[in-house]
Structure 1
């Protein structure tokens, strides 16, 4: 796994071997500080590490003052085109700026933003997607290819480097999973800046989660990526749950309970589908533990097949077994099975 430079967003470290940070973005009107803060708190409760807020106008930039003062998470200001909004957001106390310096005007404006960011020790994220590549780069590559997106990102990096600014994070997103993966892999070869992973315009909860799992999960499995966001056309809290699940799936989660379950078959004598969903839902908000929990359909094969699980349950005919590392520790009535498992999880201290 390639080690990138490290940046700091309030108290969250990104890159340089730090744990993968999960990000999301509010979809409230940023000018409504109360509603935005309520959503940020919900995201924090779900396990989010960093939150981004849109800054469409000066009123939104001013509202960030209250938001940043009360947010439990580091706040990133999302800026497009107007450098004055970036300066106002920095003055309001944000912890990071998302901005493409090539889109805000001349070198004097870039220098003004860099000077303000340096004074507050704030990083800047350059965010390129397939729809934002500069015209001359599109003409060079014949379209928004992975190579074109990477060249666009490095163009913006160069503008910041020219101002002696190096506290940078990069994202290079496409709605195409293969193009996204190719772009990030190419970027990881060309730069040491931390990479923020995501598949843009991924879609609704169902398809968006699948595309994000394929793209983000595939890159993380290859050792590429320092922070992630799952983009969904849905409640942002669902983005966090999906991102945490991806981290569990590729073994990059620092904590959390990874629930595995069998697909059921003709031997199953319990309502395994509902039981597995209940276990997964109840485990979702547990903090401070890292473990694997198995939900298996039958007592014949269950404990043996899930021997590597820290804890698990296997269904029988009206009763179920609870096992630890493949060893059966108790038998309980089916209706008490999930509660008994949750009690064991609560008491589990690891091996």
Structure 2
């Protein structure tokens, strides 16, 4: 089996997590609740933790949101990053509230003295800082020099901030992102930066879009970069429930054999032989499997032709027929049930397998 070698970066800390330096690639997401609504934000963070999210970022648009962070951080099962734009004072308030990290865009926090204030507070509290460079908010002089938001402009912006924060301020608990909504600009920027710095990189395509376009753009950009060994944390940005971001992120990592979490689901695209509602069945299997951690291989097949034969490597599988379904394990049929019972029988068999392996019930 092919294994990818990862680019060696320096290791930093984000709360209890180690990032870079050979640590596992970290999956991140962002809440879309109003941060000032503490119960709603915590509820979403807990849902995201259940599907494998490892770091959560929350928007901090004002002082009320910054104050809410104190309770959010104290009750969150995940390290919390405060997302800051424009107002350096919000970054300091977030740090004082206990945030494990802050994401700042030095390009829109005006004045080096204000950046220095944020870094001083982060250094005193052991907080991680992400320098988040975005194509949409680059410094005007770089846009003029490079003729727009090019990959070279993104990299020059990031290195400029690193020179100041590391060289002048002596702060190194940093990671960097260089995001564009354009796939090739994103790929080129991360490649160029990787040649010039060993700071850990947070990968993402900004404003990638809805479920289908966002998944495709993120999979292409992140897949290429990860295959080249670039990237230490990732977020798949989707105009969707953030739980979908986590699911897509893990599927990207799984496809490259970089990380496994939860089942791999094999399902056929359906054809004229299919006589069951396979779309609904597959969606339900995916929904329930998102709560699992065990790396099983599950098959959801539309007919016996594409059942045990095509999916013989599956740990547990189902296949439909006219009014009936079969449950199989490693290509061997073990049960035939009515169509209405197929999901119940399938989940029961998954639970049975996990018990045999010494695990807990899955569903």
TM-score between both structures, scaled by the size of structure 1? 0.90
1:56-67 matches, within 5 Å, as 56-67=61-72
Summarize the Cα distance change of 1:26–1:139 in structure 2 as closer, same or farther, 3 Å threshold: same
Q: Does 1:213 align with 2:219?
A: yes
Structure 1 residue aligned with 2:175, among 157, 164, 169?
Answer: 169
| 1:245 alignment counterpart | 251
Unpaired stretches in structure 2, ≥5 consecutive residues: 1-5, 359-363
Cα deviation code 1:228-284 (max 9, x no counterpart): 212223333333333333333443333211111111223334332322222222212
Structure 2 residue aligned with 1:109, among 96, 111, 114?
Answer: 114
The whole-number CA distance in structure 2 between the counterparts of 1:17 and 1:127 is 22
1:273-288 matches, within 5 Å, as 273-287=279-293
- Aligned partner of residue 257 in structure 2, secondary structure: coil
The whole-number CA distance in structure 2 between the counterparts of 1:254 and 1:276 is 20
| 1:98 alignment counterpart | 103
Residues 9 and 123, structure 1, Cα contact 8 Å, conserved in 2? yes
- Aligned partner of residue 343 in structure 1, secondary structure: helix
Greater mean alpha carbon deviation, residues 150-159 or residues 35-44: 35-44
Q: Does 1:232 align with 2:238?
A: yes
Structure 1 residue aligned with 2:340, among 321, 330, 335?
Answer: 335
Summarize the Cα distance change of 1:58–1:275 in structure 2 as closer, same or farther, 3 Å threshold: closer
**Structure 1 residue 196 displacement after superposition:** 1.1
1:153-192 matches, within 5 Å, as 153-162=158-167, 163-192=169-198
The whole-number CA distance in structure 1 between the counterparts of 2:132 and 2:9 is 17
| 2:361 alignment counterpart | none
The whole-number CA distance in structure 2 between the counterparts of 1:56 and 1:66 is 17
Summarize the Cα distance change of 1:199–1:102 in structure 2 as closer, same or farther, 3 Å threshold: closer
Structure 1 residue aligned with 2:29, among 24, 28, 32?
Answer: 24
Count of aligned residue pairs for this structure pair: 350
- Aligned partner of residue 293 in structure 1, secondary structure: strand
Q: Does 1:78 align with 2:87?
A: no
| 2:131 alignment counterpart | 126
Summarize the Cα distance change of 1:278–1:88 in structure 2 as closer, same or farther, 3 Å threshold: closer
Q: Does 1:271 align with 2:280?
A: no
**Structure 1 residue 11 displacement after superposition:** 2.0
Cα deviation code 1:120-175 (max 9, x no counterpart): 22111011111122222222221111121122112111121121111111111111
The whole-number CA distance in structure 2 between the counterparts of 1:72 and 1:42 is 10
The whole-number CA distance in structure 1 between the counterparts of 2:108 and 2:35 is 22
- Aligned partner of residue 335 in structure 2, secondary structure: strand
| 1:38 alignment counterpart | 43
Summarize the Cα distance change of 1:335–1:253 in structure 2 as closer, same or farther, 3 Å threshold: farther
Summarize the Cα distance change of 1:271–1:37 in structure 2 as closer, same or farther, 3 Å threshold: closer
**Structure 1 residue 32 displacement after superposition:** 3.1
| 2:3 alignment counterpart | none
The whole-number CA distance in structure 1 between the counterparts of 2:319 and 2:228 is 34
The whole-number CA distance in structure 1 between the counterparts of 2:274 and 2:338 is 15
Q: Does 1:291 align with 2:296?
A: yes
- Aligned partner of residue 305 in structure 1, secondary structure: coil
Residues 102 and 159, structure 1, Cα contact 8 Å, conserved in 2? no
Summarize the Cα distance change of 1:269–1:225 in structure 2 as closer, same or farther, 3 Å threshold: same
**Structure 1 residue 212 displacement after superposition:** 2.1
The whole-number CA distance in structure 1 between the counterparts of 2:323 and 2:33 is 47
The whole-number CA distance in structure 1 between the counterparts of 2:273 and 2:86 is 61
Summarize the Cα distance change of 1:96–1:285 in structure 2 as closer, same or farther, 3 Å threshold: same
Residues 101 and 159, structure 1, Cα contact 8 Å, conserved in 2? no
